Chain A
Amino acid sequence: MSENESTPAAWRVVVVDDHAMFRSGVKHDIGGRVQLVGEGEDVPTAVAAILAAMPDVVLLDVHLPGGGGIEVIKQVTATEPGMKFLALSVSDAAEDVIGVIRAGARGYVTKSISADELVEAIGRVATGDAVFSPRLAGFVLDAFSGAIDVASIDEDLDRLSAREREVLRLIARGYAYKEIAKELFISIKTVETHVSSVLRKLQLSNRHQLTRWATDRKLV
């Protein structure tokens, strides 16, 4: 892989999915543009593969034998809190998607995504940004307005600011970050900041994490 060292885009990726056909499909589609350094087919094998390979990004199926993607995130982040996950699924159940995001995934895309878009999404997650597909933006707007009845979403979910709602609406309308920046007369960086802050609100409104966040910063 020495020829890849100069291109930072050759991210190291672990693919976790219980369908072998899908894993080989991903390998075929993007194997040339990212380094696939491991795979997993259920929660234990995924956790082992991730901890062994220490990839930049984990492509994680939402539904997995052994407790689902949420369980993988929980077990890995217990020892590696910085690991970055991109959720990938055919399931459109809002609760499940919001569930993995709240567990710590930095984005969600559907499996029908094109190879180019997937590579771009991996890069975005690897560099610390969030990946919000239009569908996820819709789910999140629904979740914050209380329309999705997820018992795991606390009532005291932090409110979204008007600007954050505006950005999410534009994502849901199919705008790319660049187009949003142009539309709202702000920089792409600012768009990314808004999206990251929505992600943080989603993840922190979990009370347990909130207390941990506070103790980490010596607020409690």
Chain B
Amino acid sequence: MSEEQVVRSTRPLSTAWIGGVCAGLADHLGWPVLLVRLAFVVVSAFALAGLWAYLVLWLAMPRTVAEPSAPGLEANSRAGMRSTSAVSFSGVDLGLATALALLGIGLTWMVQVSGWGLAPRVLAVGILTGGGLGMIWWQADHVSTREVVRGSGWQRLVAPLVRHWSSVVGILIGLVSLAAAVAVLVLGSGLDELGRTILLLGSSVAAIVLAVLPWIIRVRRTLAEARQEAMLADARADMAAHLHDSVLQTLALIQRQANDPKKVTALARRQERELRQWLYGDAPTGGSLVEALTAELLDVEDTHGVDVELVSVGDTELTPELAAVVRASREAMVNAAKHSGADRVDVFAEADEDLVSVFIRDRGKGFDLAEIDEDRMGVRASIVERVKRAGGRAIIRTAPGEGTEVRLELPR
């Protein structure tokens, strides 16, 4: 389901202090977020450069949109069957925020006093503009998406605004702050009447455009998201239809084979796995070790009628060497299913940083390794040699009556 795309940094609003720009950048670059915040504050002291950079990035970076999870999980979340709110909202660390703000003020003051700073008038205009835009843009970020989609035309922009008094107040403060910026700019410009009028007009238009920009961007993005969601919903509906069809097939088969409990169990298990995968499953990504193992074990279950349970820790890309390990695992599963007499096989796969190991274990009758070598070449050729050629090793532990465990290891 995931397409190849450039990893773009986004603004996570859940951990944001203001617009989430720092949090997003920190996430993208892998730096500590405090460092990024500190950098912005320090740079802001010099001609408000940090402030401008922040505002530009605010516009450029889209909000973080949560990845859709499996349909069963989403349905359960909507129905209140699982507590998703357990995720703690980190919120703003007031102490840290105050410290950073004071640092910014202090640094700016120092720069100003030292004579390297901006003219007081320009500084005032900058701070008022930045603050005002921040107030308005923050509101744009925190309007519920649903409201935006529901309305049409102008309502789309206005309806969500008047939903809560705090957002109205926020926007008013922002506008007043912008107006003040324009006033300071115009009054202190020292131009003649005509120049002032032109400046007033120009700066007012610029302020309004800047204030409205994120709203327009937001509405456009929301509509695009809605279109994408509709496509996703279609794809899921197709998938659901296919699944329901396969459930019907399984039920029909079960009715026909009702007197063969082993087959019925196998059918039910397979269907259960398929449904569960769709409802709750993070389906293993294409071409991964776990995916390949899952495919093999389903096949072994089907052909030999045993229960094979896979537990995996970590996952990794399927290299040709690992594919050999998977084939050897399959051989071990088939051996367990055919010869051990146990009705259940446990498979455990673990992908470490430096080692991939797969364990295939049954509690069946086991065998004597020394005796079996001659007449069952399968073990030697298809498991041990195969893994050895791939650069790993296979260890078989068994004894009559003790069950069998095949351990396959491949260094990464």
**Residues of A that sit less than 8 Å from B by CB:** 18, 62-68, 70-71, 90-93, 96, 99, 112, 134-135, 137-138, 141-142, 145, 147, 151-152, 169, 172-175
Contacts and interface: CB of A to CB of B under 8 A. Distances in A.
A65 B79 contact: yes
Nearest to A207: B88
A62 B69 CA distance: 17
Contacts of A172: 311, 313, 348, 350
Given A112-B269, A134-B309, 13 more contacts: A64-B81, A70-B83, A70-B86, A90-B280, A91-B279, A96-B82, A138-B311, A145-B314, A147-B313, A151-B88, A173-B361, A174-B346, A174-B348
B272 A173 contact: no
B312 A138 contact: yes
A68 B82 contact: yes
B311 A134 contact: yes
B314 A152 contact: no
B50 to A, nearest CB: 28
Interface stretch (B70-78, B203-211, B219-227, B235-243): B70-78
Contact of B81 (A65, A92, A138, A145): A65
Contacts of A99: 82-83, 86
Nearest to B85: A67
Interface range on chain B: under 10, 10 to 19, 20 to 34, or 35 or more?
20 to 34
Main secondary structure of the interface of B (DSSP, over half): mixed
Contacts of A138: 311-313, 348
B83 A71 contact: yes
Given A70-B83, A147-B313, A63 B76 contact: yes
15 contacts: A18-B81, A64-B81, A68-B83, A70-B83, A90-B280, A93-B73, A96-B82, A99-B86, A134-B309, A134-B346, A138-B311, A142-B314, A173-B348, A173-B359, A174-B346
A62 B82 contact: yes
B153 interface: no
Given A92-B280, A169-B350, A147 B82 contact: no
Contacts of A145: 313-314
Contacts of B412: none
Contacts of A147: 313-314
B281 interface: yes
A93 B70 contact: yes
Nearest to B357: A169
A88 B309 CA distance: 17
Contacts of B311: 134-135, 137-138, 172-173
A151 B87 contact: yes
Q: Which of A63, A141, A151, A169: most chain B CB closer than 10 A?
A: A63
A62 B86 CA distance: 14
A99 B350 CA distance: 22
A145 B314 CA distance: 9
A162 B80 CA distance: 38
Interface of B: 69-70, 72-73, 76, 79-83, 86-88, 269, 272, 276, 279-282, 309, 311-314, 346, 348, 350, 359, 361, 405
A134 B269 CA distance: 18
Contacts of A112: 269, 272
Q: Which of B76, B83, B282, B361: most chain A CB closer than 10 A?
A: B83
Q: Which of B70, B82, B88, B361: most chain A CB closer than 10 A?
A: B82
Contacts of B314: 142, 145, 147
A93 B280 contact: yes
Contact of A65 (B80, B87, B88): B80
A137 B310 CA distance: 12
Contact of B281 (A62, A92, A141): A92
B82 A174 contact: no
Given A67-B80, A92-B281, A134-B348, A152 B309 contact: no
A135 B310 CA distance: 8
A207 B8 CA distance: 33
A70 B80 CA distance: 11
A110 B87 CA distance: 25
A160 B281 CA distance: 27
Leading 4 A-B pairs by shortest Cβ distance: A174-B346, A138-B311, A63-B81, A68-B82
B239 to A, nearest CB: 18
Contacts of B280: 90-93
A44 to B, nearest CB: 12
Contacts of A134: 309, 311, 346, 348
Nearest to B314: A147
B313 A174 contact: no
A90 B86 contact: no
